[in-house]
C-alpha cells in the first residue's frame, strides 16, 4: 500500500526500560519500487548501528547518533526535542514486503554486542513493527504504560490488534 507508514521500534538491552524508542524508524512505500525510511529517534547512549538499510544516508557503517549529527544521548525522545529526522529512499523489487524477515531493518548495539531483530511470537518485545505512523513512548516510559492495551496484544495477538490506537495522553512523543 503506497504511503502507508510502518514504524519499527527497538529496545537495545536485554533488561531495558521497554520504552521501545532506542531506535525508531518509520518507513513507507513511495511507489512500486521505492521505500522511504526515516530515522526519527534514538533513546540510547550505546553505540548503535542499523542493519538492513543500505543507503547513502542510513547505512550499516554509520552510527545512529552520528546520523543525527550529535555525539550521543537522547534524540527526539524527550519533550521539547525536535532534531531533524534522517531520510533515505531505497530502490526495492516489486515484491518487496515490510513483513519479509530478509528485508527488515535491525540494530546492532556495538557497546554490548547485542543484535536486535523484530521479535517473534513468544519472545520479549525488543523489536516491534506497528502498521501505522506510531507515536512511540517518551524516554523511560514503558510501552505498557504509554499504551494500556499493549499487554492485551501480548496475551492474545489475534483479538487485541488495535492497542496502538490508544496512547495514554502525555506519555508518547
pLDDT (tens digit per residue) in 82-122: 999 999 999 999 999 999 999 999 999 999 999 999 998 88
pLDDT value for 2: 58
Q: Residue 1 has what pLDDT?
A: 58
Which residue in 13, 14, 25 sits closest to 51, CA to CA?
A: 25
Please tell me the distance from the alpha carbon of residue 79 to that of residue 97, in angstroms, as a whole number.
33
Mean per-residue pLDDT, 125-140: 95
Beta bridge partners of 39: 25, 86
| Secondary structure (3-state) at 53 | coil
Cell of residue 145, nine digits = 504504560
Q: Which helix (H) or strand (E) holds 68?
A: helix 64-68
- Tell the residue number behind the cell numbers 492485551, with chain if given: 152
- In tens, the pLDDT along 18-71 reads 999 999 999 999 999 999 999 999 999 999 999 999 999 999 999 999 999 999
Global model pTM greater than 0.85: yes
Average pLDDT, the chain: 94
Query: Alpha-carbon distance 84 to 52, whole Å?
Result: 22
The CA distances from residue 44 to 8, 13, 66, 136, in Å, are 15, 10, 13, 14
Amino acid at each position: 500500500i503506497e504511503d502507508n507508514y510502518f514504524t519499527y521500534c527497538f529496545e537495545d538491552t536485554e533488561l531495558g526500560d521497554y520504552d521501545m524508542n532506542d531506535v525508531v524508524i518509520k518507513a513507507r512505500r513511495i511507489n512500486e519500487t521505492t521505500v522511504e525510511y526515516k530515522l526519527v529517534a534514538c533513546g540510547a547512549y550505546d553505540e548503535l548501528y542499523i542493519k538492513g538499510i543500505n543507503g547513502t544516508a542510513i547505512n550499516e557503517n554509520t552510527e545512529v547518533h552520528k546520523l543525527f549529527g550529535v555525539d550521543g544521548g537522547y534524540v527526539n525522545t524527550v519533550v521539547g526535542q525536535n532534531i531533524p529526522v534522517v531520510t533515505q529512499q531505497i530502490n526495492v523489487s516489486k515484491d518487496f514486503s515490510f513483513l519479509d524477515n530478509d528485508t527488515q531493518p535491525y540494530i546492532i548495539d556495538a557497546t554490548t554486542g547485542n543484535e536486535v531483530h523484530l521479535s517473534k511470537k513468544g519472545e520479549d518485545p525488543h523489536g516491534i513493527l506497528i502498521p501505522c505512523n506510531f507515536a512511540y513512548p517518551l524516554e523511560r516510559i514503558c510501552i505498557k504504560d504509554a499504551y494500556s492495551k499493549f499487554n492485551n496484544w501480548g496475551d492474545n495477538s489475534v483479538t487485541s490488534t488495535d492497542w496502538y490506537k490508544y496512547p495514554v495522553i502525555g506519555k508518547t512523543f
